[in-house]
Amino acid sequence: MATIAAPTRMMGAPIKRREDPRLIQGLSHYVDDIKLVGTLHCAFLRSDYAHAVINSIDTSAAKELPGVVTVITADDLGEVGGIPCGAEIPDLKVPDHPPLAVGRVRFVGEPVAAVVATEAYIARDALDLIEVDYEELPAITDLDKAVEADSPLIYDDFGDNIGFTMPLEAGDVDAALAEADHVVSQRFVNQRLIPNAMETRGVLAEYLPGEGTLTVWSSTQVPHILKTQLSLIVNVPEQKVRVIAPEVGGGFGSKLNVYPEEVVVSHLAIQLCKPVKWTEKRTENFTTTIHGRDQVNYVDVAVNNDGTITGIRARILADLGASYQLLTTLIPTLTNLMIVGCYKIPNVQIEMVGVLTNKMATDAYRGAGRPEATYIIERMVDLAASTVGMDPKDIRFKNFPQPAEFPLEIPTGIIYDSGNYQESFNKALDIVDYDALRNQQAQLRQEGRYLGIGISTYAEICGMGPSIAMPAGGWESSTVRVEPTGKITVLTGVSPHGQGQETTFAQMVADEFGVDIDDVIVVHGDTGRQPYGIGTFGSRATAVGGTAMVIAAGEVKEKMAKFAAHILEANPDDLVFADGNILVEGSPDQSVAFAEVALEAHVAKNLPPDTTPGLEATHFFEPSNFTYPFGAHIAVVEVDANTGEIEIQRYVCVDDVGNIINPLLVAGQVHGGIAQGLGQALYEGAVYDESGQLLTGSFMDYAVPKATQVPHFETDHTVTPSPVNPMGVKGVGEAGTIGSTPCMVNAVVDALSPFGVKDIEMPLTPNRVWQAIQDAKG
Amino acid sequence: MAKKVIHTTINGEAHTHEVEPRMLLVHYIRDVVGLTGSHVGCETSLCGACTVTVNGQAVKSCTMLAVQADGAEITTIEGLAQNGDLHPIQEGFWERHGLQCGFCTPGMIMAAHQLLARNPNPTEDEIRHGLEGNLCRCTGYQHIVEAVQYAAEKMQG
């Protein structure tokens, strides 16, 4: 076989994105920008109550409004199926999840009826004309109360509000806690967050009765999974369903799903034989697109006087919401897996309880289960340090595994692929000049000023993942085709929505073939064009999808080398691909243009022996393991003890995400990730009142960070390649979010340690910070 | 609902349409005129994705009625590049990786346009305050700040 080592030109280069020209000129097409002739518009009537019996629904007045085409309720859905729960867990109680409420509503915003009209404004007018007779039931919104024996029930036949209990046990935690010098205990609330991608969801569906084909444009991260599910739910054969994820304006996990609106709009398009469109309002996005986090953690850690942490025990209540979306039940399992973070802790015991409440379902939100785990362990490590009187830096070094120990099996049953936690942490400490900062802190305290230095060293699980661990398979696909003109088309099963793989994937393929990057295009997000794929989530696109592509490109290249060797009368093993040519290594005059070989392979007049025409290969890549990025974040804050206000003075992070394809894009992912993590620490939180009303249902009440609310980030890297894929990449989409939240809280608690403050519940609003100081003062 | 005739000039092109008095300017621009670069992110004037220029003033077009723009000169993101050349702010966003999903970007660029018109040489702090009315969920804003700095430098020549 040809060993065709192309000189690396694009890998590692900070080139600007090829997606951008259309985006910066307003020329791209998100779902709502796609206009089909004769499109009808859909709007959803949603429950105003968190928990109520539906006695009756009267749609007659709405149907009479001029311009209204139809109004449907659950009774009109016929054979349409329910919303799938994608993650089975032993003894999981799975409630029915009809696309429109049947008999009872269980969260505010649950869709009850759908209107279709000739204009979007008329559809919304008609919602006001639908009369629903509700009989309100008690709402269950508090996690601790929901699991009490006398709690009202969300599903009467379940007997309690517990969807599942998932224990995890390794070693002997009871002994560890009994024998340790200290046991540190703490309750944490990891508050509910609302993802808020800037583009809300949207669906446009068109059914052509002659062909029997259903085409659905949806703002989704998983077009292939959506295609399969829609086929099953609305009963159209899968080969006649096409799902297109056009330009997608962010997702952060919130579009990794199969939603009722996708089902209902598709059903309506089939029934009406006309295109039907629904564009989500921001208010709907707040109430009915999945939420994230929402756990209460009761944690005990065993620590000895020398700082060695010997065990961790956690009882975790995870709020699932009122019904399951695709991965609602999977997310808490990731918290279990990552509970020990980047430390060697031999004894682990977790009781994870998934709890049903009258709220929107939780599901994957950037980090998805790992920020919760990282928050637990990084906060507990700081509390343990303070208990034994150690610097939070030293206790971390004390418990890190050594680089030579990787691959490292940890007690929760997973194997960390590679790591050098000391290196990234040392680099971060050097950047901030840690010892000088501690001196400065001591001096300022003399002056009554409260500087805080927060550390978070994290490891996370991504590059998802081996199929054995993934509900819908964890592989990824790619087709690489060299066209007759020598242009290269890459089809990928991943579905980027801001990550920039049109650029990074083109970089890799341009390198592989030694061609100009402008000769490569990357096509994604259309089940009618790509081989079946899994999608973009879990920081997997490059590690898994990129690997599929590189392997497919290698296969095409090998075949192309045979054609070139035939033309040049050379040995394929002696050829190199460079600068748009294929040449004999060491004999640059023995050369043929890349495009000429491409044409020869297609006109096929002079085939090499045993070679078929065409230059195309498809590869389905199954990863052998997850990847495990890691890093160290350090925040420096000053807290005004009189007002509770926090000033972020520095934010430094040294992430190790394996090899880097495009540092510009990696920096962008890290910045955005940290902003979301700091958002949780400082500003964001979904608040439901006792009756189950969402009090934070707009940007007035839910604080997505603004430009003035995030600091300048100082980013750096160490590089520990992953052995799991040939590129040595790990994944960077979620690392910033995972590392940053505990870092910021640790910084503020550190600042207030002279008052004896041990913990403050997120988000750390000035009021909460001030109150924590007052409480600590007594 | 009785419709009203309005005349607008958008990106130099004259338009006359009959619209419902309740129609939002952003829906007029997107669904009647057909320029979909201005995005609807919240409909409450909080996210800024719909920012356009109306008679030289940056306006969140989701909280202005189309009939209020009768007779107005409007510039949308589609009108910023001239003769195929990107505006320096657009160039800055591209050069400095000031966008990821791109949804907030048109509004962000239009807001930056007004910011630089008022303050051609802003500090980082002034840029952050100037863009406070525009939300971005992807970038953490740092590259957006750099994009505006790039444009400021370039526009000063």
**Do residue B57 and residue B117 come from a single domain?**
no
Q: What is the pLDDT of residue A665?
A: 98
Token output for A686: 């979904």
Residues of B with Cβ-Cβ distance to A200 under 8 angstroms = 41
Is there a contact between B37 and A25 if contact means CB atoms under 8 Å apart? yes
Q: What is the pLDDT of residue A419?
A: 98
Q: Is this prediction's pTM over 0.95?
A: yes
Q: Is the pLDDT of residue A413 over 60?
A: yes
Residue A135 pairs in a beta bridge with A53
**Closest Cβ–Cβ partner in A676, A707, A736 for B132:** A707
- What are the two backbone dihedrals, phi and then psi, of residue A599, each rounded to the nearest 5 degrees? -65, -45
Is there a contact between B138 and A672 if contact means CB atoms under 8 Å apart? yes
Token output for A465: 């993942």
**Closest Cβ–Cβ partner in A25, A250, A700 for B90:** A25
CA distance A212 to A652: 56
Q: What is the mean pLDDT of chain A?
A: 97
Residue A166 pairs in a beta bridge with A352
CA distance A196 to B154: 33
**Do residue B60 and residue B11 come from a single domain?**
yes
Chain B residue with minimal CA distance to A500?
B100
**Do residue B13 and residue B71 come from a single domain?**
yes
Is there a contact between A668 and B41 if contact means CB atoms under 8 Å apart? no
**Closest Cβ–Cβ partner in A23, A281, A736 for B105:** A23
Of the residues B79, B110, B141, the one at which a domain ends: B79
| Tens-digit pLDDT profile for residues A377-396 | 999 999 999 999 999 999 99
Q: Residues with Cβ < 8 Å from A526, sequence gap 6 or more?
A: A223, A242, A243, A244, A245
**Do residue B100 and residue B132 come from a single domain?**
yes
CA distance B141 to B148: 11
Is there a contact between B141 and A664 if contact means CB atoms under 8 Å apart? no
Burial of B125 (0-12, 13-18, 19+ CB in 10 A): exposed
**Do residue B72 and residue B106 come from a single domain?**
no
Q: Which fold has domain A20-27+475-621?
A: Aldehyde Oxidoreductase; domain 4 (3.30.365)
Is there a contact between B46 and A698 if contact means CB atoms under 8 Å apart? yes
Mean per-residue pLDDT, A443-450: 98
Range of the domain at B40: 4-79
Of the residues B48, B79, B110, the one at which a domain ends: B79
CA distance A172 to A189: 26
Q: Is the pLDDT of residue A427 over 70?
A: yes
Parallel, antiparallel, or unpaired: how do β-strands A292-303 and A309-321 relate? antiparallel
| Tens-digit pLDDT profile for residues A242-266 | 999 999 999 999 999 999 999 999 9
Token output for A1: 């076989």
**Locus of tokens 């000895």:** A304
Q: What is the pLDDT of residue A5?
A: 44
Q: Residues with Cβ < 8 Å from A648, sequence gap 6 or more?
A: A635, A636, A637, A678, A710, A711, A744
CA distance B34 to B21: 19
CA distance A756 to A591: 74
Q: Tell me which amino acid residue A291 is.
A: H
Token output for A661: 């394809």
Instruction: Quickly state the pLDDT bin for A8 (edges 50, 70, 90).
Output: low
| Total domains present in chain B | 2
Is there a contact between A671 and B76 if contact means CB atoms under 8 Å apart? no
| Domain A368-462+627-777 belongs in CATH node 3.40.1190.20 | no
- Mutation target for A interface from B22, B100, B126: give the one with most A CBs within 10 A: B100
Token output for A544: 């898994």
**Closest Cβ–Cβ partner in B46, B94, B100 for A672:** B100
CB contact at 8 A, A756 and A693: no
Count CB-CB contacts under 10 A for residue A591: 17
Instruction: Quickly state the pLDDT bin for B101 (edges 50, 70, 90).
Output: very high
**Do residue B150 and residue B95 come from a single domain?**
yes
Q: Residues with Cβ < 8 Å from A609, sequence gap 6 or more?
A: none
Q: Is the pLDDT of residue B57 over 90?
A: yes
Rg, C-alpha atoms of chain B: 16
CB contact at 8 A, A94 and A324: yes
**Do residue B123 and residue B94 come from a single domain?**
yes
Of the residues B36, B62, B79, the one at which a domain ends: B79
Measured over the CA atoms of residue A158, residue A163, residue A169 and residue A174, the dihedral's sign is negative
Mean per-residue pLDDT, B94-109: 98
Q: Is the pLDDT of residue A7 over 50?
A: no
**Closest Cβ–Cβ partner in B44, B127, B136 for A698:** B44
Residues of B with Cβ-Cβ distance to A27 under 8 angstroms = 37, 78
**Locus of tokens 């991504």:** A462
CB contact at 8 A, A394 and A455: no
The alpha-carbon gap from A121 to the nearest alpha carbon of chain B, in Å, equals 9
Token output for A271: 């029934």
Is there a contact between A704 and B137 if contact means CB atoms under 8 Å apart? yes
**Closest Cβ–Cβ partner in B41, B104, B140 for A675:** B140
CB contact at 8 A, A728 and A658: yes
- Mutation target for B interface from A17, A22, A23, A674: give the one with most B CBs within 10 A: A23
Chain A residue with minimal CA distance to B80?
A25
The DSSP letter of residue B85 is: B
CATH number, residue B128: 1.10.150.120
Is there a contact between A498 and B144 if contact means CB atoms under 8 Å apart? no
- Nearest CA to B61 among B88, B37, B90? B37
Is there a contact between A675 and B141 if contact means CB atoms under 8 Å apart? yes
Residues of B with Cβ-Cβ distance to A20 under 8 angstroms = 93-94, 99, 102
Residue spans of the domains in chain A: they are 20-27+475-621, 34-137+198-250+255-288, 368-462+627-777
Count CB-CB contacts under 10 A for residue A606: 10
CATH number, residue B33: 3.10.20.30
CA distance A744 to A751: 11
Token output for A429: 């400490």
CB contact at 8 A, A249 and B39: yes
Is there a contact between B40 and A252 if contact means CB atoms under 8 Å apart? no
Q: In a 3-state reduction of DSSP, which class is residue A8?
A: coil
The alpha-carbon gap from B13 to the nearest alpha carbon of chain A, in Å, equals 17
CA distance A504 to A664: 10
For helices A421-432 and A434-446, give the axis angle rounded to 10 degrees.
50
Architecture of domain A34-137+198-250+255-288: Alpha-Beta Complex (3.90)
Residues of B with Cβ-Cβ distance to A665 under 8 angstroms = 97
| CA distances (Å), origin A626, targets A414, A464, A539, A595, A733 | 9, 6, 10, 38, 14
**Do residue B93 and residue B70 come from a single domain?**
no
Q: Is the pLDDT of residue A9 over 90?
A: no
Mean per-residue pLDDT, A173-179: 98
A20-27+475-621 and A34-137+198-250+255-288 share one fold:
no
**Closest Cβ–Cβ partner in B22, B135, B142 for A713:** B142
Q: What is the pLDDT of residue A778?
A: 85
Residues of A with Cβ-Cβ distance to B34 under 8 angstroms = 35
Rg, C-alpha atoms of chain A: 28
| Tens-digit pLDDT profile for residues A596-654 | 999 999 999 999 999 999 999 999 999 999 999 999 999 999 999 999 999 999 999 99
**Do residue B111 and residue B58 come from a single domain?**
no
Mean per-residue pLDDT, B61-76: 98
Q: Is the pLDDT of residue A2 over 60?
A: no
Question: b or e along A424-444 (b: 16 or more beta carbons within 10 Å of the residue's beta carbon)?
Answer: bbbbbbebbebeebeeebeee
The alpha-carbon gap from B24 to the nearest alpha carbon of chain A, in Å, equals 10
What percent of chain A clears pLDDT 90, i.e. is strictly above it?
97
**Do residue B57 and residue B123 come from a single domain?**
no
CB contact at 8 A, A520 and A654: no
| Tens-digit pLDDT profile for residues A687-723 | 999 999 999 999 999 999 999 999 999 999 999 999 9
CA distance A300 to A80: 47
Is there a contact between A671 and B141 if contact means CB atoms under 8 Å apart? yes
Count CB-CB contacts under 10 A for residue A174: 13
Is there a contact between B78 and A26 if contact means CB atoms under 8 Å apart? yes
The alpha-carbon gap from A423 to the nearest alpha carbon of chain B, in Å, equals 26
Mean per-residue pLDDT, A217-239: 98
| Tens-digit pLDDT profile for residues A555-610 | 999 999 999 999 999 999 999 999 999 999 999 899 999 999 999 999 999 999 99
Q: DSSP assignment of B78-99, as one string?
A: GGTSBTTBPPHHHHHHHHTT--
| CA distances (Å), origin A726, targets A98, A437, A546, A627, A723 | 44, 41, 10, 12, 7
Q: Tell me which amino acid residue A540 is.
A: R
The alpha-carbon gap from A128 to the nearest alpha carbon of chain B, in Å, equals 17
The alpha-carbon gap from A713 to the nearest alpha carbon of chain B, in Å, equals 7
Is there a contact between B144 and A707 if contact means CB atoms under 8 Å apart? yes
Q: Report how many Cβ contacts below 8 Å link chain A to chain B.
A: 166
Chain A residue with minimal CA distance to B126?
A708
**Closest Cβ–Cβ partner in A16, A30, A707 for B103:** A30
Is there a contact between A26 and B37 if contact means CB atoms under 8 Å apart? yes
The alpha-carbon gap from B6 to the nearest alpha carbon of chain A, in Å, equals 19
| Tens-digit pLDDT profile for residues A324-343 | 999 999 999 999 999 999 99
